[in-house]
Structures are given as C-alpha cells and as structure tokens.
Structure 1
Amino acid sequence: MENSYRFFENKECQYYPCHKGIENMNCLFCYCPLYSREHCPGKPEFLEKDGRRIKVCTNCTFPHQPQNYDKVIQVLKQTFFS
C-alpha cells in the first residue's frame, strides 16, 4: 500500500510499530482523533483513577487499520457536522 491521503506508514518512527499484529500499519491517525469520544468504534478500555474515568487505547488498533479510514472519517463528520 502506498502513502496517500488515506494511508501513511512511518517506519522510521521511534515507536514503530506502536501496535503488534498489523501488517500494514496506518500511521495517518497516530494520535487517534476519536480519543475524546466515549463511544467509538474501537475497543478502548477504561480505568478509574482518583474518581476519574480514563480512556486507555493502548490495545486498540482500529484507527491504524487501513480499511477503517472511511469509518474514522464518518465518525468525525457526525461529531462536527451534526
């Protein structure tokens, strides 16, 4: 898969690969744009600390899978344009 507006793989990143088990790591959403959403299509975990609920996405690979680009964009459109 080539680098494009839908996919970017940065093999020179000091954290690459940040998740194991993905053949084509899409680094385009390195920082997940869905992090601020409590309900997202990924599989985050939640921790309770000092009375606060904290979203932990360490084991979530959803935004890094190339086939999920359209789904991420769809959720962002719903967030900002509804």
Structure 2
Amino acid sequence: MENSYRFFENRDCKYFPCHKGLKDFNCLFCYCPFYTRENCPGKPEYKEYDGKVIKVCTNCTFPHRPENYEVILKLLKL
C-alpha cells in the first residue's frame, strides 16, 4: 500500500514489524489508542505481574490492519 493519511508503514523502524503475520502493516497507530481502555476492540491478553494485572498486546494486530482505520476513528469518535 502507498503511505497516506490513512496508512503509514515504517520499514526503517528497528522494531518493524512489531507484530507478525500482516502483509500490509499500518504503523499509523504505533502506540495503540485503546491500550488504556477497558473495552478494547482487539484481542489483548491479561497477565498478572507483581500482584498487578497487565494488558499484553503482543499478539494483537487490530490497530495495524489497514482496514481498521475507519473503525478506530469511529471508536475514538474523531
């Protein structure tokens, strides 16, 4: 895909790809806007660490899928 306001792929990032399994990897939402939200549209895992529950998004590709751009904006109500 071509970089635009809806899609950006940064192959020069030292962490690229931070998640495996996507042909077109959208880096636009590198930091997931849903990380701090309880109702996340992705598939996070929750693990206990030092008596705290931590949200682990290692296997979640929701914000990196190009087709989810509109869904993300709608959920953020932008």
After TM superposition, the score normalised by the length of structure 1 is 0.88
C-alpha RMSD of the superposition = 1.2
The 3-state SS of whatever aligns with 2:72 is: helix
2:38 aligns to what SS in structure 1? coil
% same residue:
68
What is the aligned partner in structure 1 of residue 59 from structure 2? 59
Q: Structure 1 segments of 4 or more deviating over 4 A?
A: none
Letter in 2 for 1:24: D
**In structure 1, how many angstroms separate the alpha carbons of the residues matched to 2:19 and 2:34?**
17
Q: Which runs of 5+ in 2 are unaligned?
A: none
Match of 1:4 in 2: 4
Structure 1, gaps ≥5 residues long: none
Distance in 2 of aligned mates of 1:9 and 1:44: 22
SS at match of 2:26: coil
**TM-score for the superposition, normalised by structure 2:** 0.92
Q: Tell me how far apart the structure 2 counterparts of residues 2 and 51 of structure 1 sit (CA, whole Å).
A: 44
